[in-house]
A and B are shown apart, each in its own frame.
Chain A
């Protein structure tokens, strides 16, 4: 601390800071005797460093840009699907939670988009609002598999319980998607939505009884059922319109059905086959032929009496099987079986009308009969209606014969030698590698 002013010689020097700079000033002549550093070192600063962005309150108040974009996208999805405002706010809060979750904060932007779709799907499931994954998929432009993986990660990370949605739940909103009102299309094509829903649900119930529904993608089946229902409600006029034509008439969005067109065709074939099997049992046809491409006019009658027709079809099929097995018997099986067959046929002719399950029950006598013949999947031939994956087995899996080993036996040297290259082979291999490197 200086004691005297070099200008005037007085000893009246006081410390008088100029803003934050320490200065010693002479009181008498006003000259600055000495001054401190203008800048400070890090250790001097009591305030510390500047506050980084991520710790500032600005982060809390203003969410990141991608999150804002995500919010608007998610809200748009909710509006397209016409969700209520409560559901929309639930979706938005769920999306915020998911976005900021450590598993998802650093993923790619496309994945964050899909995450928005998953939030919508999850809230819809919770509120029993029927939305298929395929719908969300085509709205986002991703396929089911990608959506599925993100959805599984999302439910696991946020501990959300998944509830399954049935095909019948999706039916009504699906049917209403088709614009077939009397004001929207011509008279011959128009169909009040409720009638379409009723007919389609009857068809799908029939398909479920015939094992076409379980394990399959619901959307192609819904398309096929709606198309058949629409045709059957006015068969004389509508028979000539193909499925693609129907979608164009009903103004179904092309992305929703275009990709699954092949599946729809397959489901149509399966549905028509089931209808044919039942159509053949109609007594007033008197055994006339029922072909898949002409069965649609009969759909009305078939659906009205479907329970009785199912019973008849199954019973006739079993009768047919019994007759076949009886003629193919060896003598001893024959004697044993004809007694049990007779007793079984008595019991099977009196099933309760509301319990078609009993009619298709495993026939123990038949089982023993088929064991005599021993084909590997003979159980499938006992049933008239089966999941198509059972009836259309493409390739018989051949199990290799089981090795009888103990795990601790001796390993022969020759076997091990066969897995090791000889010196010549190694040299040749190295030579070839060198040549290839030279050429490349």
Chain B
């Protein structure tokens, strides 16, 4: 495994030479995991992976990267503030072998959480007459007695928006940040066409939800005992364990089937970082009969 800690931390598929346009800091790296005492430390797992499996996993990652280069593009997060870099470096499919070798257990999980929902807000910058909007738009519903906003939906990207009379709007249902931005712009354009002087001010992503599958069952009772200060597991109320990670501030719902839901992120990297933090811990509780 030591040979992988070479000077080529970047995948073969990309044309960028190392050193020329090196990112200032990878958005998340395994070394960050051990920074603060608030980051959960992985319990030393007894099921250490064999060398064969390790190599196969790395091979798989290589294959994945070469097979789907366009995947990088859609994972570009335009909201993260990386100063002047080409976004492709921030792909989390990069095997995150640190340049300074850390402990051998710090390889990446090889699993990528998929984003399921993005909630964003934007200010259209003018007062709106909701009755007019509900009358003149095909895709709008408005029940002032039930809720004080117009609920509008568009087909592509498949999203829903809540438009308030103050001119503020909430857009939900998109699967990526750029889709959310595009959808919000489309809603603003619809409102414009209905005759209001709508602008597009202060677009901000408020929440991102991701999910993934670690593909092994998890002993939730064990996890709640060892990580008591972060976890809450009440099988009588909810079948999953609620893990409140401090750094990054993400809430994870961990289920016995191995599925994990991550929510509360403002940027994509927080979800990836949270998952990379929790994966070694979960591996420690993977006890198959």
Looking at B194, B225, B256, B288, the one whose CB has the most chain A CB atoms below 10 A away is B288
Binds B, one of A175-183, A250-258, A285-293, A356-364: A356-364
Classify chain A's interface size: 35 or more
Question: Across the interface, which residues of B come within 8 angstroms of A216, CB to CB?
Answer: 235, 239
Contact of B53 among A151, A164, A362, A416 (CB under 8 A): A362
| A389 near B256: Cβ-Cβ < 8 Å | yes
What A residues does B258 contact at CB under 8 A? 390
Q: Tell me the A381-409 residues at the B interface (CB within 8 Å).
A: 383-387, 389-390, 399-400, 402-409
Check B145 for interface membership: any CB of A closer than 8 A: no
A390 vs B239: C-alpha distance in the bound complex, in angstroms?
13
Which of A25-33, A82-90, A237-245, A417-425 forms contacts with chain B? A417-425
- Interface stretch (choices A5-13, A64-72, A187-195, A207-215): A207-215
- Chain A proximity of B187: nearest CB distance (Å): 9
A111 in the interface (beta carbon within 8 A): no
Query: A419 vs B153: C-alpha distance in the bound complex, in angstroms?
Result: 9
List 29 contacting pairs A-B, 8 Å CB cutoff, sorted by A.
A133-B236, A133-B237, A145-B237, A211-B256, A214-B218, A340-B52, A356-B289, A360-B288, A361-B47, A364-B50, A367-B53, A379-B215, A385-B288, A385-B289, A389-B257, A390-B258, A400-B158, A402-B175, A402-B176, A403-B175, A404-B73, A405-B176, A405-B179, A406-B178, A407-B78, A407-B178, A408-B182, A411-B182, A411-B185
- A407 and B194: CB pair below 8 A? no
A387 touches B217 (CB 8 A): yes
In the complex where A403-B156, A405-B182 touch, is A361 in contact with B288 (Cβ < 8 A)? yes
Q: How many residues of B contact A (CB 8 A)?
A: 61
In the complex, the answer to whether B236 meets A421 with C-beta atoms within 8 Å is no
- Known contacts A407-B179, A411-B189, A420-B194; is-contact A357 B257 (Cβ 8 Å): no
CB pair B216–A379 under 8 Å, yes or no, is yes
Nearest-CB residue, chain A, relative to B73: A404
B288 near A403 with CB under 8 A, answer no
Q: Are B186 and A411 in contact (CB under 8 A)?
A: yes
Instruction: With A362-B53, A368-B56 as known contacts, state yes or no: A407 contacts B289, CB within 8 Å.
Output: no
A residues in contact with B236, CB < 8 Å: 132-134, 144, 148, 217-219
Q: In the complex, which residue of chain A has the Cβ closest to the Cβ of B288?
A: A360
Contacting pair A166 B56 (CB below 8 A): no
Which chain A positions have C-beta within 8 A of B210? Answer: none
Known: A314-B289, A389-B257, A405-B182. A364 touches B52 (CB 8 A): yes
Query: Interface digits, B120-140 against A, CB 8 Å rule (1 contact, 0 not)?
Result: 000000000000000111110
Is A310 in the interface zone, CB < 8 Å from B? yes
CB contacts under 8 Å to A, within B20-63, are 46-47, 50, 52-53, 56, 60
B53 touches A364 (CB 8 A): yes
Residues from chain B with a CB closer than 8 A to the CB of A142 are: none
Q: Evaluate contact between B137 and A357: CB separation under 8 angstroms.
A: no
**Interfacial chain A residues near B70, Cβ < 8 Å:** 404
Quick one: which of A162, A415, A419 contacts B232, CB cutoff 8 A?
A162
> Does B233 belong to the interface (CB within 8 Å)?
yes
Whole-angstrom CA separation of A216 from B289 in the bound complex: 19
Docked CA distance A368–B186 (Å): 45
Chain A residues with Cβ under 8 A from B47's Cβ?
357, 361
Interfacial chain B residues near A432, Cβ < 8 Å: none
